[in-house]
Chain A
Amino acid sequence: MAEFTTLSDAIGQHVHDGDTVALEGFTHLIPFAAGHELIRQRRRDLTLVRMTPDIIYDQLIGMGCAKKLIFSWAGNPGAGSLHRFRDAVEKGLPHALEIEEHSHAGMATRYATSASGLPFGILRGYAGTDLASVTKNIAWVTCPFTGEQLAAVPALDLDVGVICAQQADRDGNVLLWGITGVQKETVLGARRSIVLVEEVVDSFGPHVNGVVLPSWTVDAIAVVPSGSFPSYAQDYSERANGFYAYWESISRDRDVFQSWMSEHVLETRDHQEFLASLDPQLRGTRHG
């Protein structure tokens, strides 16, 4: 049964040094506040998993929290590179980062396989690519019925899955809508799960393509308004595109990055203080 708690306590209780952790969100509902809390609590040696590692993974890598990254697309969408990620891969800064690289279809299959409790999943993919040679966790199987050769990828071995959702009800059931990515699979495929919600409501209204995670599939729920900033929560906030462009100027230089992280993350107590520490022009738009 989901327990309502603070984000700080949820991270402290459920995420340990050396864990394999997925903070998922496909552009939408990215759990930035949880990433910041991992940095504040100085978690180390994490294996980070994400289809689309973006700014928050750049921050975790740059702050030395990550030992390994399992991913399929690492960039700052529409704005540029992840310079802390690139420094880790190209120069071993702040320390070497092991990478395991897939395609989106391969990663999506791995998440769905984890949620299904199967050891491996199959897809029609990777054939002819160099990914199949550099990534050990890509293999080939022959269909026992048709003889077709298909790619096989193992389930993810997730200790913790962290997502954002729009709402929880008072019983701890969780509702998200809009682009739902692999969030359901992240929660169902991990040993422990943390959900950040915009608000707690008495009952859920109807939502096109709404996904409900029953309370007993979630370990901890933290109410963190704008917890996905600078990403967005559909019908609550707009994506802060300006922040993504701004990040290019912060992450490019390691010293600028370090002092920015100290001022805005390490020296703020929680997500509301983090948001308050930002230039108002960067804060993005909330609805209502």
Chain B
Amino acid sequence: MVDTPNAELAWASDEMMAVAAARELEDATVCFVGIGLPSTAANLARATHSPSAVLIYESGCIGAKPDHVPPSIGDGVLSRSADAVVAVPEIFTYWLQAGRIDVGFLGAAQVDRWGNINTTVVGEYDAPSVRLPGAGGAPEIATSCRRVIITLRHNPRALVEKVDFVTSFGHGDGTGARQRLGLPGAGPQVIITDLGILRYDTDAAQFVLTEVHRGVEVDDVIAATGWDLRVASSVRETPAPQPIELDALRSFVKV
């Protein structure tokens, strides 16, 4: 949440993104949370419409209830507030791999129209122009959660025609690759950005723009997307952030 509120709107575009992402998380959902924006959005959901959401962090914290956005996935505020803390091999086996998680909430450096995610390198793997942190827990979160929500800032370097490296598998090339590979989860279903919302359309076999945030035109989103973006026949405006959502978000990140 680094940018300042838009003068015409009462919120920043990053705040709109966090609020829209939080709204995707239904109450009582069990959610495996990546650090950064996914963690902010998941905790915003818990603070507003989803008080019973169960937040799981890959550090082994199950049912974490932090009172501020933790800078890392292993902060003391997560372990102290958790219902249970388990070892890292256990969180990935008994909990994630066993199919106990409803939603995986992931960020990305690059994503393509099929929800394949790159967090490894920009450029060639053996001679990268930018070395990114790598996979972390994401590949198996994308494999085993029942569905995946992706959130990232929208620009043509992030939403790309082809990811430089498939760190976490989405829908491959859109031709039923998940089923052929026998992946248990349904894969990425929604991409939430600071401009709008893309939802996976199984008939179109790709992500399709379904919502734009207030002040954003469909053409803005097309211009900020690195592939030839499909647009739903009717695109609606994302409901504006409510004061209760903004208050919760601002109190949560202001530490």
Contact = CB atoms under 8 A, between A and B. Distances in A.
Most B CB atoms within 10 A — which of A26, A134, A234? A26
Contacts of B125: 130, 134
Interface stretch (A66-74, A197-205, A246-254, A265-273): A66-74
Contacts of B133: 73-75, 81
A257 B246 CA distance: 40
B144 A124 contact: yes
Given A72-B135, A102-B135, A109-B89, A128 B177 contact: yes
A234 B79 contact: yes
A124 B94 CA distance: 12
B169 interface: yes
Contacts, number: 167
A125 B167 CA distance: 11
B61 interface: yes
B167 A28 contact: no
Contact of B79 (A28, A72, A102, A184): A28
B131 A149 contact: no
Contact of A234 (B80, B177, B183): B80
Nearest to B70: A78
Interface in A119-136: 123-131, 134
Contact of A105 (B61, B92, B120, B184): B92
Q: Which of A72, A74, A131 has the most CB of B within 10 A?
A: A131
A27 B166 CA distance: 26
Interface in B154-193: 165-169, 172, 177-178, 181-184
B130 A239 contact: no
Contact of A179 (B60, B129, B143, B165): B60
Interface stretch (A8-16, A35-43, A84-92, A160-168): A84-92
Interface in B71-109: 71-76, 78-80, 84-89, 92-93, 96-97
Contacts of A126: 139
A182 interface: yes
Contacts of A94: none
A90 B96 contact: no
B136 A72 contact: yes
Nearest to A211: B87
A179 B61 contact: yes
A234 B181 contact: no
A238 interface: yes
Interface of A: 26-28, 51-52, 71-75, 77-79, 81, 85-86, 89-90, 101-105, 108-109, 111-112, 123-131, 134, 148-149, 178-182, 184-185, 208-209, 211, 232, 234, 238-239, 241, 244
Which are the 7 A-B pairs with shortest beta-carbon distances? A27-B74, A78-B71, A128-B169, A77-B72, A75-B133, A73-B136, A105-B140
